[in-house]
Each structure stands twice: as C-alpha cells, then as structure tokens.
Amino acid sequence: MRQIDHFLAKPAPSGSSSRTHKVWNPSTGEVQAQVPLGDAALLDTAIETAKEVQPGWAATNPQKRARVMFKFKELIEANMQPLAELLSSEHGKVIDDAKGDVQRGLEVIEYACGIPQVLKGEYTQGAGPGIDVYSMRQPLGIGAGITPFNFPAMIPMWMFGMAIAAGNAFILKPSERDPSVPVRLAELFVEAGAPEGLLQVVHGDKEMVDAILDHTDISAVSFVGSSDIAHYVYKRGVAAGKRVQAMGGAKNHGIVMPDADLDQVVNDLSGAAFGSAGERCMALPVVVPVGEDTAERLKEKLIPAINALRIGVSSDPDAHYGPVVTPEHKARIEGWIDTAEKEGAEIVIDGRGFTLQGHEDGFFVGPTLIDRVTPKMESYQEEIFGPVLQIVRADDFEHAVRLPSEHQYGNGVAIFTRNGHAAREFAHRVNVGMVGINVPIPVPVSYHSFGGWKRSGFGDIDQYGTEGLRFWTKVKKVTQRWPDGTADADNKDAFIIPTMG
C-alpha cells in the first residue's frame, strides 16, 4: 500500500507516533494509501529546521523571494494535469473541478509575486521639527496552516503563499483525508528555489493540531474547517498568545427575486449547489424564492435540471460531479436528508441510496432537492456539506433579507435580480461577509480578500490579499531625528511629552 510521508527537511525522530490514517479512493471505495499521524515530537523537528532557515529567508530581499514565487507559479502551471489527477483520486471531485481548485490557489501565488510592492511601508518627512516617521512590515517568524479536505490545493496556497512571500517559514498540516497534493506542492516549492525547511508538511489529527496551537515558536495559525473546530482553534490559539484566523462552516443562501432570469438561476444553482458534490464552504445549498409564484416556477424548472445531472467517477469527463470524500461523510449527508424528512420537509428528489453501475462501493450521493424547509428545522440550521439543495420560501424581500442575516453562519450569500435598487439594498443590509449579485459563488479575486462573518469566521483578519499580508506580518514604526549638536542642556521641554506642533 502506498505510504504518504511527511515532508520534512530532517528525518522524523525515532519513536514518534506510529498511528496512521486511511486514504480512500472515493470512486471505488477502496483504501489506496495510508498517511502517518504525527505528534508533538515530529512537530518539534519541523520547527527546529524552520527556526534555522527563516532568518535568512526574511533577510532575502523581496525581489528574490518574488522570483521563487514566479518559478513556483511556472511549475504549478506545468504540472496542472498531474496535480488535478492526484487531487481527484483522493478527494473525488472531477478533473476540471480539481483544476479549478489548483487555479484559484495559483491566483494567490500570482498576487504574492508582487510582494516587493505590497510590502512597502509608509513614510512622512517632516512630521515634526527635523523628525521623519516611517513604518515597515516585518515577518512574524513561523506560521502554520491547518487546512480542510475540500480544497487540498487552493487553501494551502492561500495560506503559505502570502506567509512565505512576506518572509515567514511555514508549517502546513493538511487534511489526512487527501494529503498527497499538499506534499507535492511542497516538493515543487523546493524545486522552485525555496530553501529546504521553509515549507514543511506534517500530517496528523487532533493531536497534531493541539501541538501546533500550543507550540511557543509558532506565531500565527490559519485554519479552515467546520465552525465548532474553528472556534476551538481560535480560543486555544489565542490563549497561547498566537495570532489566529479560523474560518468555519457556512449555509449560503441564494435569494431569487420575482424578476430574476429563472433559466440563468437554475443553471447557476445546478453548479453552485451540486458542483464538487456540494463539498464547498461557498456552495449554495439554500435557495430562497421570493413569493409563492416565484417558488413554483423555480421548482418546476429545477426538477428536470437536477434529474439531468450526471454523477460519475472523478475521472469521467462527462460527469457533473463525483463521489464524496469518505464513507463516513456519505452516511452523514444521507443522515441529514433523513432528518429533513422527519422534520416535515418535502423530499422532491431523493439522492439517498444512489449507486453507480460498476462502482457500487464508491461514496456517491445522488442530487437531492428538498422543499418546504423552514428556519426552525435543524437540517436548515446546520451545514450539510453535500449535494443537497433546500428551498426556503420567503414571503417578500424583507423576509428574504432576514433569513441569511439571522442565520448562525454568515459566509456567503447571493441575490438574483434585474432590479439594481433591490440588489444594492440587499448588499448593504444583509449580515453576511461575502455577497454575490447574480453571482452564485462570490469568492473574491486574489487581490481582495476572503472571509465570512458570525460562526463562519473567528478573528478579525481575512485570508489572502492585503488582509493576508496584514495577518502574516507585523508593523514596526520608526520615528527618527538627526540632531545638529546644538541642543540646550537645560531645555525643560525635554520633560514634556513630545508633540509635533
């Protein structure tokens, strides 16, 4: 059986954890590899190397750091197909979707290539008599990222791209469910010219997470995962004196106004709700038609569109989506459909028990459409994270604004309308961190930033863009004066708090 090793600059210590985790092939239901689960001793080994290499990297001028990023970008582009195939084999998403995963991470690397420009500080000449003031951004030292299974290329690159370009060393703990692509990214980063030990990959479960959160030499931790764990990571990391950004779950809503182009809405919903088998924190699992007439017209169009979706193995070029990541996750999704049914919702299209001919042991869940869902239902309140679309009917625009605004999650939301005033009003009032106007998956481009509100995000700094630069650096402020040697020794003003008047 294939072994997926840690990516360290020094050998793992003898006597470290011998525990392992299964890595499935979701399309066949077979175990294809195993990954070791590291412990605190293994993390110490990685940190030891990171402490050795980071000062030299921080002292490397930004242009040279940018050149490594440019070379890394070239290597990712040259290896796009094998990276996508490797990603699909462990995650289950189809090849084209896997390429999108890699590409969205690569866009942050492209932004990081401009690090000489974005790292520049501020300068004021003559802030006071003979006094100049300037600031500089400096790296924190060693950062760490704890990433989820659903984007094994994109999210690691979101984190380490900005952190390393800014001058930090980085420890990456990817999901143990699909760990091969993060390791391959680290290999390519060394090939691009990065010093060995600058980017290291440690595998593990909660034991490794806790070791990262408690380690005194790690200055900042970035996390993406479920909200309960995000909250735990945030509290424990902050208690240990770290800077922490922890992105949690989501229950994104798509508001459909009566004037919306329903054919376009159905096309957008099909991809946003069922793409990647719904395993996206920016998926759109709740549609909110405004008014009964809108709801009935939308439902009538959704049913044939959803029934026409093709589910296939991850390598099937004609499949709209593939299997979910593990048998446990398949059971969890189907359990939420059971819950919705027990709560009184109408199961319009039932994806439970779906099997793919020739791949009966694969972890497939058929597309599911559920109507008559209400805000009191647990299946509405919690994240399902599967190919399940729920319809929550809104009486009017005000009701539609309240639904996502009052939900515990506040990651993303979309509104579909031809009415500019309604769209503008919605964008200003809705209590959600990322808003799409006729855009079903409003993930901002790499030179903006990504982050939700409420239980979708803990910490006050977002991912990537200028926010990412802020997270991975600290600002040093310098106030300078060069005296001319004529100071009065008896100057009583020296005892007064200095002003710039």
From CA 19, how far away is CA 41, in angstroms rounded? 14
Residue range 164-176, pLDDT digits in tens = 999 999 999 999 9
Measure Cα distances from 92 to 95, 141, 308, 328, 490 in Å: 9, 36, 20, 14, 77
Reply yes or no on whether the pLDDT at 495 is more than 70: no
Cα torsion for 443, 74, 62, 155, to the nearest 10°? 30
Pick 491 or 371 by higher pLDDT: 371
Reply yes or no on whether the pLDDT at 493 is more than 80: no
Reply yes or no on whether the pLDDT at 57 is more than 90: yes
From CA 187, how far away is CA 200, in angstroms rounded? 9
Reply yes or no on whether the pLDDT at 301 is more than 70: yes
Residue whose token pair is 């991975």: 472
| Cα 359 to the center of its chain, rounded Å | 30
List the catalytic residue out of 220, 281, 309, 377. Answer: 281
> Span 373-399, mean pLDDT?
98
Going by pLDDT thresholds of 50, 70 and 90, the confidence category of residue 501 is low
pTM over 0.85: yes
Measure Cα distances from 147 to 205, 230, 285, 346 in Å: 11, 11, 22, 35
State the average pLDDT for the chain.
96
Q: Is 113 a catalytic residue?
A: no
Percent of the chain exceeding pLDDT 90 equals 93
Helix (H) or strand (E) holding 142: strand 142-146
Cα torsion for 456, 461, 467, 471, to the nearest 10°? -130
Residues in contact with 102: Cβ distance below 8 Å, sequence separation at least 6, in sequence order = 76, 80, 83, 84, 87, 153, 154
Going by pLDDT thresholds of 50, 70 and 90, the confidence category of residue 12 is confident
Query: What pLDDT score was predicted for residue 494?
Result: 63
Question: Phi, psi at residue 110, to the nearest 5°?
Answer: -60, -40
Q: Where are the alpha helices (DSSP H) in 198-344?
A: 206-214, 227-239, 262-274, 292-307, 327-342
From CA 160, how far away is CA 168, in angstroms rounded? 9
Reply yes or no on whether the pLDDT at 489 is more than 70: no
